Structure 1
Amino acid sequence: MNQNTLSVEAIKDGTVIDHIPVGQGLTILRQFKLLHSGNAVTVGFNLSSQSNGSKDIIKISGLLMDDAMANRLALFAPRATVNDIADFKVVRKRTLTLPDTISEVFSCPNSNCASHGEPVKSQFYVRINHGETRLRCHYCEKTFARKSVIDA
């Protein structure tokens, strides 16, 4: 008997971030401050995925992400999809593209960077070099691997 069940409850209106690599769901919750939005958030970790074997998923009730916010997710989950939900149905499905710049999300790993001692918002230029995502700080102009910026 073929039995289809939902591992994570459906939402009426909001956003579903699907196909997040296992282990990145918590990082996305933290980096995007999704738990502080005041909206109900449902999270699934290590869920079965036909295409990837397993995945994380985040559902945010009552919040629609703009394209800029959705594309910032590509730094954490390049193959994720962002689905807009209305009346329990997917009304828009977006694949992600890396933004050219990203602001106010990360701190510069360079402790001597002016962004640490001045009242300025962090800003990085995003580039792909030999298949690796690299971020260059607007202020100190140093370039870092994606992981070192995310972990800073």
Structure 2
Amino acid sequence: MKSIFSIFCILLLISFQSCDNENSEIIFHKSHELSRANVPFSDAVETEGLLFLTGQIGKDHKNGKLVNGGIKEETKQVIENIKDVLAYHDLSLDHVVKCTVILKGINDFKSFNEVYTTYFTRKPARTTFAAAGLAGGASIEIDVIAVK
């Protein structure tokens, strides 16, 4: 819980610094996915050279359903979804500096990590924790911060 609070404080500090700078601009990006056109949040928010992505779950956006196969398949889909959003903004996973990972069950940590490490080879900072439930019945959700 202490690390979550620390992350919150850092993000809050960044947002205050951005608001104090008269030249700073905050851009709220809509999703590039038509199926997410009316969601009540931004797909990504950009400011001061940082891109804050909304959390992604293992939903295949083509059919609107969670992928089958358990935590490993969901983790792959989550990261592919993140890659798609980053690519839309001309970025890649190599631009990611921070990941926050929420697992439905902490017992999935090892299986999740086996997939995660094949994608994030530069080893961005990361926080991982478990929650009682996730949106859409997902087993995993990941949000990232990337540097432009």
Q: TM-score range by the shorter chain?
A: under 0.3
**Could you say which structure has the greater relative contact order, defined with CA pairs below 8 angstroms and 6 or more residues apart?**
2
Larger Rg computed on CA atoms: 1
Q: TM-score, normalised by structure 2?
A: 0.27
Greater helix fraction, Structure 1 or Structure 2:
2
Is the strand fraction higher in 1 or 2?
1
